[in-house]
A and B are shown apart, each in its own frame.
Chain A
């Protein structure tokens, strides 16, 4: 993953810049570095603004021009956790954790054997199966929403977190199958056979040959499935009510209140995003692997 400098010109600055760089490489490199910093700051600015606003009082957060140096307070967070409204965000947060974690576990339980049958000991026409999984991901969620709603109504599963768990599992399963297949394809099959001939036990084979390749794949898959489940709004909005409401649904109901609410909303948005932000920062390389369905390692 090493990269050398000077290989990547910006399309906008082709000829003159390219000629100048050959004579004065350090300076143009520095300018491009500064441009990168500038763009990075521009992109992260809304998030920093959200953080700052969440730490301001409602009055200080609703001024024009913005009061950047206003005194900091945790009032917004206290309001989010129900200081005056009495509505606790904990049940929705807990529902989100339940739905995301359990659906991710289920996805792995389905996806790993399936990926095995598509890579290490492939079935015939395994590419067709793989593309069938991907095609289900392209089917618009909204086209299946009504039957699922009607089914849930008849089966008494409306406002039940288990319904969300099943739906999130189906939503993420195609991605997980693709990812796990690409990781399992890296397991050296010859080494498995050699290990079997040498009389290595199953546990040892798994630990020494399979695990080093597959565990990072499982981590990347889990991260992506967790993020997509945690973020999901449409299903949760239509299929849950007061009991099984998830954190994103709770967020959408947050601005109906009267008066100033900006600090409170920023605090809420930040708390709900925090698990994803932490997980994403901690596993940046896994994020790339996951987003490209395992095509990029």
Chain B
């Protein structure tokens, strides 16, 4: 009786130490991630209930939900939420659509396919700040930007001396930011979708063709369902990055003209207005919003993931 209990216990100990041996390689990464990414957020949560402005250090103290009331009733903050949603949805959907069209074109054999693919990738490889500077100064500039320069050249060609010279960024600020972002993110979507296209089961498609299925039918009933998970993956990863976009808004419009998204607004509240309490409350609001979206997004990835591991 005692011996069997002892062996059971020692087996227990053995199993537990084996478990820890398995966990050991995981722990450094896990602890590092929790300390660097989760701990700051706990601090943000605490500061969000505080009245804390670096300009008035004496007035520091807890104020309950005041910051949240201010954040949720602040017109700027509500505009920022709307801008963030609009910016993210527009950029993700347009670049996904363009990426799909281009991926379908690149999935065919034609002369110089590799060269076109390389050309398509280039925008994604330009450093985001550099890309934003390029669009702002070299392309959108109303006096000597390439867009208006080309308009002038075309108008001259037809003998007109009064070409329209729109001030792109002032007249359509959000579209300007979106254009620059779509230019950078279309290659990203294209790469993921092209890889998805090339992983299609070609023999099945060949069989469908022999059975008399048209190109549209093959796209609608075979290619598209296969691509769906890649479209979802592209949309998810694109959203993660574009929701957090700071570089383009900061560089192209400095958050002016109604283009201030949440990251930029929070950056401003904290870095320029030094209102730590309100910036933190806004941060918490963003996180809650992100968690709601992320729950859906994670479900998408996990379905993709199950499919991959079951293969």
Contacts and interface: CB of A to CB of B under 8 A. Distances in A.
Given A145-B266, A167-B36, 9 more contacts: A8-B105, A43-B183, A46-B123, A49-B146, A169-B32, A231-B128, A237-B250, A251-B127, A288-B194
A262 B105 contact: no
Interface residues of B, number: 124
A35 interface: yes
A70 to B, nearest CB: 12
A129 to B, nearest CB: 7
Contacts of B276: 146, 150
Given A64-B148, A65-B156, A266 B138 contact: yes
B307 to A, nearest CB: 10
Interface string A31-63: 011011101110110110110010000000111
Interface of B: 19, 22-26, 28-30, 32-33, 36-41, 43-44, 47, 100-102, 104-113, 115-131, 133-135, 137-139, 141, 143-144, 146, 148-150, 152-153, 156, 165, 183, 186-188, 191-192, 194-200, 202, 205-206, 214-216, 218-219, 223, 230, 233, 237, 240, 243-244, 246-247, 250-251, 262-263, 266-267, 270-271, 276, 279-280, 283-284, 286-287, 290-291, 293-294, 297-298, 301-302, 304-305, 308-309
18 contacts: A8-B107, A14-B215, A37-B112, A50-B138, A66-B146, A117-B25, A136-B38, A140-B243, A142-B262, A147-B39, A169-B32, A169-B36, A170-B36, A231-B127, A251-B127, A272-B130, A277-B126, A296-B196
B225 to A, nearest CB: 14
A252 interface: yes
A77 interface: no
B44 A143 contact: yes
B186 A66 contact: no
Contact of B283 (A50, A143, A265): A143
Interface stretch (A81-89, A106-114, A190-198): A106-114
Contacts of B243: 140
A11 B99 CA distance: 13
A210 interface: no
Nearest to B144: A62
B38 to A, nearest CB: 7
B134 A143 contact: no
A147 B37 contact: no
A253 B112 CA distance: 39
A288 B103 CA distance: 13
B123 A44 contact: yes
A66 B28 contact: no
A296 B195 contact: yes
Contacts of B102: 36, 39
Interface stretch (A118-126, A199-207, A212-220): A118-126
A135 B298 contact: yes
A53 B133 CA distance: 13
B186 A43 contact: yes
B105 A10 contact: yes
